[in-house]
Amino acid sequence: MAADNNPWWAGAVVYQVYPRSYADGDGDGVGDLPGLIGRVPYLAALGVDAIWLTPFYPSPLNDGGYDVSDYMDVDPRLGTLGDFDRLIGVTRNHGIRVIVDLVPNHCSWDHPLFKKALAAAPGSHERELFLFRDGRGPDGAEPPNNWPSQFGGPAWTRVPDGQWYLHLFDASQPDWNWRDPRVAPMFEEILRFWLDRGIGGFRVDVAHGLFKDATLGDAADASLTNRPSAYYHRPEVYAVYRDWRLILDSYPADGFPGSRTAVGEVWADSAETIAPYLAPGGLPQVFNFELVKSRWSAPELRAAIDATHAFADGSRAPWVLGNHDVVRPVTRWGKDAARAAALLLLALPGSAYIYQGEELGLPEVEDIPAAARRDPTFRRTGGKVVGRDGCRVPMPWLAGGASFGFSRTDLGFTPAPPWLPQPPGWGAYSVAAQQGDPDSFLSLYRTALRLRRDHPVLGAGALRWLDGPEGVLAFVREPGFAFAANLASEPRPLPPHTEVLLASGPLVTDEAGALALPRDTAVWLAQ
Ligand code: NOJ
């Protein structure tokens, strides 16, 4: 197949949907695919190019669906494969692609193959699909090595016959043994299953995991590091992605121009660690988490952006402000800063991901009662790590009413309460409350996305920094576009421009009567 030099994903704006929290189409208090289908016109009006669906597969939900018990089906609480196909059809009619989440590092302890492995004897063929080992110490009562679980506690759990199995995450998420020759073909079949249904690609969960040090010996540094270690960034993993790339590239465009993508969730310590994933023939894309990790500081953000450009531009490493795993930008940085950051995100070269609710300026919900919390990190750390439920609270669509329009109310019965409680006042953030207000978050995102579509230099391309006054982050996208944000406390002058296209907040005038940028405000300028 001919090389695709300008793939659709290089400049795409992708909207992340956490389906259980998006829209509930059957009144059971859990978001589902029919609910999402009903909101596709909203996404089309917002102006996104694609959606990324976090897992919707059958799952006992010990980790929000990242514990998959069947990779080739839809959880009955979320719908059916027929609903999925309908989603593909409806999104396609609106020119929107669908990226699905692939979870290759681990499955659920409810996966039939793990159940078979548990029922089989130590050393059996069945157990070889996972990482079972004898323990250490008297009676093997100590875990086989010192590796930690990302969610707290050891990465090993003991089974009744005395062996232990490895899980880098929750005990309900046993890691696959990628050194077993049956695992790679199984995942290739899964890839083809979804590609055949017409998806635009995959988001690859824990893409830096999969292979573990073959000896499963103690890690020199048994902390939760993103550095190459006994369990992350093992070089064997790159060959998996080369094989997947061949599969992706072998698929026809299927009604859309351009190739399918796979974007790896690769948490890494440096550009050097990320680079091999993006080597020719490897993953098309990996997430760029620099903006998530950065504080709201002009030099820090500039360094974060430059660090990425050292190995790839945003077309290979899409920009992200938040996702379902991190504290919402409004709470991390403040409301004004989050508005300015939205304009930064969408002005940077390449692709950008928006997590549902970012366009509404949803804050982190910090006071979810302990009994309502679902994130396994909360349980595994005895509540010391509060976990990620606060960014997963169901969407407010209406200013009032049961669950603020999250669940349908026209079904002839009162819908069940949402699976995670929404705080009082959530309706003030709703789509209905914001859509007629030109100063709302939603209007800012809609306008920015429209301008981005219309402005030829936005999306994939290059940037050139402008050296502005202290506290100002500014660059040009040539020809004709400039971005500036003021992170200092005093107002700062705007860079040269012919027109202010969009501002994240009100501008002020300086003593000479010229427009100036107040603190935590960003502008898009025509030059
Ligand atoms: C990353 C996912 O984004 C997160 O939600 C999940 O808990 C872990 N991977 C484990 O699958």
Give, using CA atoms, the residue closest to atom 4 of ligand 1.
Answer: 325
Is the pLDDT at 256 greater than 60? The verdict is: no
- Residue 343 makes CB contacts below 8 A (sequence gap 6+) with 444, 448, 483, 485, 502, 504, 522, 523, 524
| Share of residues in the chain with pLDDT > 90 (%) | 88
- Mean pLDDT lowest among 43-47, 95-99, 120-124, 216-220: 216-220
Q: Ligand 1 centre and the CA of 66: distance in Å? A: 6
SS3 state of residue 212: coil
From 59, 166, 205, 377, mutation site for ligand 1 pocket: most ligand atoms within 8 A of C-beta = 205
253 — pLDDT class (breaks 50, 70, 90): low
Q: Which of 82, 78, 83, 60 is nearest to 70 (CA)?
A: 60
For 317-435, where are the alpha helices, taking DSSP H only? 329-333, 335-347, 376-380, 431-434
Q: 13 in helix, strand or coil?
A: strand
- Report CA-CA distances (Å) from 257 to 86, 95, 97, 260: 20, 11, 11, 10
At 130 the three-state DSSP class reads strand
Atom 11 (ligand 1) nearest CA: 66
For residue 469, whether the previous peptide bond is cis, meaning omega lies within 30 degrees of 0, is: no
- Verify whether ligand 1 is closer than 6 Å to residue 206 (CB atom): yes
Cα–Cα distances in Å, from 92 out to 61, 71, 239, 255? 29, 23, 32, 8
Q: Is 187 helix (H, G, I), strand (E, B) or coil?
A: helix
Taking residues 19-25, report their average pLDDT. 98
Structure tokens at 252: 């026809």
Locus of tokens 């400039």: 482
Q: In angstroms, rounded to a whole number, what is the distance separating the alpha carbons of residues 246 and 260?
A: 11
pLDDT per residue as tens digits for the range 56-102: 999 999 999 999 999 999 999 999 999 999 999 999 999 999 999 99
| Backbone angles phi and psi of 175, in degrees to 5 | -75, 140
479: burial class by Cβ within 10 Å (0-12, 13-18, 19+)? exposed
Instruction: Tell whether pTM > 0.75.
Output: yes
pLDDT at 412: 86
Output the pLDDT for position 4. 64
Q: What proportion of the chain, given as a percentage, has pLDDT over 70?
A: 98
Cα of 277 from ligand 1 centre, angstroms: 19
Our measurement of the distance from residue 412's CA atom to the centroid of its chain's CA atoms, rounded to an integer in Å, reads 35
Burial 229-257 (b: 16+ CB within 10 A, else e): bbbbbbeebbebbeebbeebeebeeeebe
Do β-strands 472-477 and 481-486 pair in parallel, antiparallel, or remain unpaired? antiparallel
Asked if the model's pLDDT at residue 409 lies above 90, the reply is no
The pLDDT tens digits of the residues spanning 177-219 come to: 999 999 999 999 999 999 999 999 999 999 999 999 999 999 9
Q: For 489-516, how does the pLDDT look when each residue is reduced to its tens digit (9 = 90+)?
A: 999 999 999 999 999 999 999 888 899 9
Residue to mutate, 62, 108, 206, 224, ligand 1, most ligand atoms under 8 Å from C-beta: 206
Residues 67, 73, 75, 80, Cα dihedral to 10°:
160
- 67 an active-site residue? no
For residue 265, indicate whether it is catalytic. Answer: yes
- Of the residues 83, 205, 375, 520, only one is catalytic, namely 205
Please check the confidence at residue 377 and state whether its pLDDT lies above 50: yes
**Structure confidence by residue, pLDDT tens digits, 447-472:** 999 999 999 899 888 899 999 899 99
Q: Are strands 50-53 and 13-17 parallel, antiparallel or unpaired?
A: parallel
For ligand 1, whether the C-beta of 63 sits within 6 Å is yes
398: number of Cβ within 10 Å? 16
